[in-house]
Amino acid sequence: IIKWRPISYGRLFATITPDSKKQHHGGLSDQDRIFTNLYCDQDPFINGALKRGDWHRTKDILCCPQEFILDEIKKSGLRGRGGAGFASGVKYSFMPKKSDGRPSYLVVNADESEPATCKDREIIRHDPHKLLEGALIVGYAMRAKAAYIYIRGEFWDEANRLNKAIDEADEKGVIGKTSCGSGFPFDIYVHSGAGAYICGEETALLESIEGKTGKPRMKPPFPAGIGLYGCPTTVTNVETVAVCPSILKRGGNWFASFGRVNNRGVKLYCISGHVNNPCTVEEEMSIPLRELVERHAGGVRGGWDNLLGIIPGGSSTPIIPKSVCDTVLMDFDDLKDAGTSLGTAGVIVLDKSTDVIDDILRLAKFYRHESCGQCTPCREGTGWMEDMLERFKIGNADYAEIDMLYQLSKQIEGHTICALGDAAAWPVQGLIKNFRHVMEERIDKYKAEHPVTNVPRVLSHLPKKGSHQIYLLNQRKQFHNYE
């Protein structure tokens, strides 16, 4: 057990919310925790689950009107935990109230391939019955016929456990022809993937369940209109669904008592990288990042001053430098103000001993490998960015090529069918915005060691060191002329 000495941080908030009664978020007590079996202290299967309160009088919830359940989820302020952060109550209410002949489906996205994220694995391994109960309740609320849990192929042991949990639940009669004796027929099936990060995207996931290659579809039409097998579908993350039974059992107001306005609730954070105590913890939203790392992860290796940067939300979010990490809170809005986003709350901590360009290069390699190849900006752009970053790693480049890389990432972002293009572009943009001096020093070092011969370089007459703002200003002037 780590002894944590309280440190005063001074002013903790960058944006003050007018009606938050609590000024400091962060010390979640064990009674308020939802996932009590996170480290597998007790039996993860049906016997332990019953002791922990799963499947306790679920029939009462299933006898409530569906609108009530959706309103409770809206009142609790739950936002999607899979990275996008869209209000879940609103998302679930998009499903059709009256079926037009097609059945509705709920699909749970347990394809956890985002680097630095390992929270769904803990839920599935150690608390599968929370997930099953949540799927049942949410499926009832959206009048679904069945739920498919798409689990990634690498989670072989976790898929076995989930199958065992479903068999136990079937035996007990809580899902199946009449779930919990309430007369609502609901089935839950597990579908295993086979190793593709792109299948975590909702339309690619639906394609993968249908048995085709996992290439995303164009949106619109949205899955709530035309989804799995052409029927209305909602795709949600494991954590969002697993938290719903607790919301209904304890009340939406209880869940909304954690976190700031619009960022309510509790979240599982996975802290990895250069920390003394990498772990998965369940904490309140809007906890200061510094407190999260120092209290639960044992602090950065070598002290807080040894910190170089943090990637706060899994690999798709831009890296933030130490000056921002000192004061930022871990929630959707504050991180968005800081220029990054919460994503899946997989925190990667980088200390000063690491080569940040090498790390972002490895991420670029990851995105290039996992690109499905359907649309040109992503397929070509990820490879191009990786090649450029390889050269930046040794320093064999020009200052103007940093701006070229930025422009390239801007051309990938937003011009793709799915969000993998954005996810590939953002880390590179974060690197250029916050660690430009590292790249420029590398270039200087390389140029000092390899003096330039008489080779004509097209770009070297452009900006000098540190003058990228002038280059961007020139660009803006150009656009102004078109108006």
Partner 1 sequence: NDDTYFEFTPDNYKDIDKILKKYPKNYKQSGTIPLLMLAQKQNNNFLTLAAMNKVAKILEVPPISVYEVASFYAMFNRTKVGKYHLQICGTTPCQLCGAKDIMKACEDHLHIKMGQTTADGLFTLEEVECLGACVNAPMLQVNNEWVYEDLTPEIMKSMIDTWKKGGTIKPGPQKGGRKNSEGPLGRTTLLKIEPRVKIRDMPEAVKNWEDEIKKKANEAAEKKKKAEDDARRKAEERIQNLKKVE
Q: Considering only residues 76-105, where is the footprint of partner 1 by CB under 8 A? A: none
Q: Which of 280, 340, 416, 429 binds partner 1 (CB under 8 A)?
A: 280
Query: If binding is defined by CB under 8 A, does position 1 make contact with partner 1?
Result: yes
The minimum distance between CB 58 and partner 1, in angstroms, equals 8
Part in contact with partner 1 (CB under 8 A); list of ranges 16-24, 90-98, 248-256, 473-481: 248-256
Helices (H) and strands (E) in the chain, counts: 19, 13
User: Which residues between 31 and 50 bind partner 1 (CB under 8 A)?
Assistant: 31, 33, 36-42, 50
Binding of partner 1 by 239 (CB under 8 A): no
Q: Which is nearer to partner 1, 154 or 326 (CB)?
A: 154
Piece in contact with partner 1 (CB under 8 A), picked from 6-14, 130-138, 320-328, 348-356: 348-356
In our burial notation (b when 16+ CB lie closer than 10 A, e otherwise), range 112-132 reads: bbbbbbbbbbbbbbbbbbbbb
Residue 156, interface with partner 1 (CB under 8 A)?
yes
Closest to partner 1 by CB, 319 or 400: 319
How many of the other CB atoms lie within 10 Å of CB of 53?
Answer: 15
Tell me how far the alpha carbon of residue 411 is from its chain's centroid. 23
Distance between CA 37 and CA 34 in Å, rounded? 9
> Min. distance of Cβ 280 from partner 1 in angstroms?
4
Residue pair 45/168 in contact (Cβ under 8 Å)? The answer is: yes
Per the rule left: phi > 0, alpha: psi between -120 and 50, beta: everything else, 259 is: left
Contact 266, 283 (CB under 8 A): yes
212 vs 336, beta carbon nearer partner 1: 212
Q: Which helix (H) or strand (E) holds 405?
A: helix 399-412
The verdict on 279 binding partner 1 (CB under 8 A) reads: yes
Q: Which of helix, strand or coil describes residue 147?
A: strand
Closest to partner 1 by CB, 195 or 466: 195
Nearest residue to 263 (alpha-carbon basis) of 242, 238, 286, 239: 286
Contacts of 171 (CB under 8 A, 6+ apart): none
For 152-265, list the strands marked E by DSSP. 187-192, 233-237, 259-260, 263-264
Nearer to partner 1, 88 or 117 (CB): 117
Query: Smaller CB distance to partner 1: residue 379 or 447?
Result: 379
Q: How far is the CB of 181 from partner 1 (least distance, A)?
A: 15
Is 170 one of the binding residues for partner 1 (CB under 8 A)?
A: no
Choosing from 79, 264, 274, 442, the residue that interacts with partner 1 (CB under 8 A) is 274
**Listed residue (311, 273, 278, 243) closest to 82, CA to CA:** 243
Which of residues 1 and 455 has its CB atom nearest to partner 1 in the complex?
Answer: 1
Strand 329-330 vs strand 287-288: parallel, antiparallel, or unpaired?
antiparallel
Residue 4 is encoded by which pair of tokens?
């944590």
Instruction: Give least dist CB 380 to partner 1, A.
Output: 18
Q: Which residue has the tokens 């057990």?
A: 1
Name the segment binding partner 1 (CB under 8 A); options: 84-92, 173-181, 246-254, 403-411. 246-254
Smallest gap from Cβ 67 to partner 1, in A, equals 8
CB 55 to partner 1: min, Å: 10
Nearer to partner 1, 51 or 450 (CB): 51
Q: Which stretch binds partner 1 (CB under 8 A): 56-64, 378-386, 407-415, 436-444?
A: 56-64
**Residue 304 host element (H or E):** none
Residue from 24, 43, 45, 64 that binds partner 1 (CB under 8 A)? 64
Find the binding residues for partner 1 in span 295-324 (CB under 8 A).
295-298, 311, 315
Q: Is the peptide bond before 221 cis (omega within 30 degrees of 0)?
A: yes
The site string for partner 1 over 125-154 (x = CB under 8 A, - otherwise) reads: xx-------------------------xxx
> Which tokens sit at 102?
């097609």
227 makes contact with partner 1 (CB under 8 A) = no
Q: Does 155 bind partner 1 (CB under 8 A)?
A: yes
**Residue number with CB closer to partner 1 (41 or 171):** 41
Q: Is residue 9 close enough to count as binding partner 1 by CB under 8 A?
A: no
113 makes contact with partner 1 (CB under 8 A): yes
Instruction: Give Cα separations from 39 to 109, 126, 282 (angstroms).
Output: 22, 7, 11
Structure token digits, residue 265: 């609730």
- The closest alpha carbon to 361, from 282, 431, 270, belongs to 431
Q: Which stretch binds partner 1 (CB under 8 A): 366-374, 401-409, 411-419, 447-455?
A: 366-374
Q: ω into residue 220 within 30 of 0, thus cis?
A: yes
DSSP percent split of the chain into helix, strand, coil, nearest 5: 45, 15, 40
Query: Is the four-CA dihedral 196, 419, 268, 275 of positive or negative sign?
Result: positive
Q: Which tokens is 74 given? A: 């809206």
Q: Tell me if 393 contacts partner 1 by CB under 8 A.
A: no
Residue whose entry in the numeric block shows the structure tokens 């510094």: 290
Indicate whether 118 belongs to the interface with partner 1 (CB under 8 A).
yes
Interface with partner 1 includes 213 (CB under 8 A)? yes
| Count, residues near partner 1 per rule CB under 8 A | 95
The residue range among 85-93, 170-178, 275-283, 440-448 that interacts with partner 1, by the rule CB under 8 A, is: 275-283
